[in-house]
Amino acid sequence: MSYSDQFFNAIGISGERGSVERFAKLSGVPAQRLKFYNHNNVLPSGSDLDRVIKGAGITELLLKLKMGRVDKSISDAIQFYADEISELLARYNPEAESPKTECKLEFETSLGKLYRGDCIRFLKSIDNDSIDLVFADPPFNLSKLYPSEIDDRLKTENYLHWCQEWLFECARVIKPGGALFLWNLPKWNSSLSSYIESFLTFRNWIGVDIKYSLPISNRLYPSHYSLLYFIKGERPNTFNPDRLPMQVCPKCYGDLKDYGGYKDKMNPAGVNMSDIWLDIPPVRHAKYKRRDGSNELSLKLLDRIIQMATKEGDVVLDPFGGAGTTYMAAELKGRRWLGCEIGPIDVIVERFNLIEKEREIIDSYRKNLNSLFPENIKHNREKLGLWTCETVRNPA
């Protein structure tokens, strides 16, 4: 993952051999640092910035503009000259993009429709303000091989631009008060969040505790996925999160935290959901994984999101089908759904043929919700003489 050569182009470094070293000598900024700025499209700061603009004979403003770095002062100036700038930009004619794969309806249930083709074409066919919840789990641009053979190794700015294109369409189709949930690596979501904020309202950055790589030397161990939650407008149409059971020791059923004198204040219906989710299992085991390379998510995750942001009969849309987890959760929860997948969809169809198995999985998750101590935990705590809601409220 890297950027195109915006930095080198801005300061006049060509692709010619030795040109980086020549500029390094001229400016006094080491070649390795120049390569770092270019690779990551990072604007130099401090004395490197002074040396770079002097060496290139350009202004700081021109450097920023050529690198696409628009800060507050540039944004203010653009707003001030908006009329003139919009005329200038209307003349800009970038290369035509390659045509997107057409979308065909390939699978249907009484509640949902699944299309095969490109997500942007699919989204463009959806009416304005018609969807209650969009959930999106796009490819992460990590050079993965997908069955659809999509290019998962785009230049950073091209990946972000592609995400912006379909996110813009997602925002367009969401109803006022509807919700968008975006699942991605923190690296991508930190950048996409500020883009989405230009048309939707930020609610939460949810950290979902799942380790997705081995520890990396010299770095903190990557241990959470980011789940962004936005709504359209001021208030959500539906916000109905489940309450969770209190965490207890899985072996001795004892408390993991000291609740001191607050036990009787604990809600018997369970703990308020926070923005850190510790209980979402990764889908790694071959027994549960429907398709290699699809990065299938847990039904528990989709059950939680759909429960929180929709009512029965609402419409859920997911533009990246994968193994169809969103469609399955929506179907089992009585929501209408719309989906799209560019690659093969047989795995999703097969999954729907075994829907009763999936129902058992979702039911097994749901039976532990909305109660401080689910039945089996309560039973074991009573047997061991540990406190329960009843014993703290009505002491013997």
Ligand X SMILES: C[S@@+](CC[C@H](N)C(=O)[O-])C[C@H]1O[C@@H](n2cnc3c(N)ncnc32)[C@H](O)[C@@H]1O
- Comparing CA positions, the residue from 279, 353, 336 lying closest to residue 131 is 336
CB-based contact 296:210 (threshold 8 Å): no
Residue 342 interacting with ligand X (CB under 6 A): yes
Residue in 132, 137, 314, 358 binding ligand X, rule: CB under 6 A: 137
Residue 112 interacting with ligand X (CB under 6 A): no
Q: Which helix (H) or strand (E) segment is 292 a member of?
A: none
Exposure string of 69-96, with b = 16+ CB inside 10 Å and e = fewer, is eeeeeeeeeeeeeeeeeeeeeeeeeeee
CA-to-CA distance for 270 and 99, rounded, in angstroms? 51
DSSP assigned state of 291:
S
Residue 150 interacting with ligand X (CB under 6 A): yes
Cα four-point dihedral sign 190, 195, 196, 198: positive
Give the contact letters, 156-185, x = binds to ligand X (CB under 6 A), - = no: ------------------------------
Cβ at position 334, least distance to ligand X in Å: 20
Residue 339 interacting with ligand X (CB under 6 A): no
Cβ at position 6, least distance to ligand X in Å: 25
Cβ at position 157, least distance to ligand X in Å: 17
Return the range that interacts with ligand X (CB under 6 A); candidates 30-38, 77-85, 321-329, 363-371. Answer: 321-329
Residue 294 interacting with ligand X (CB under 6 A): yes
Residue 119 interacting with ligand X (CB under 6 A): yes
- Comparing CA positions, the residue from 265, 342, 322, 277 lying closest to residue 303 is 277
Residue in 182, 297, 315, 372 binding ligand X, rule: CB under 6 A: 297
Distances (CA, A) of 321 to 118, 139, 340, 357: 11, 11, 6, 19
Cβ at position 162, least distance to ligand X in Å: 8
Binding site for ligand X (CB under 6 A): 118-119, 137-139, 146, 148, 150, 294-297, 319-320, 322-325, 340-343
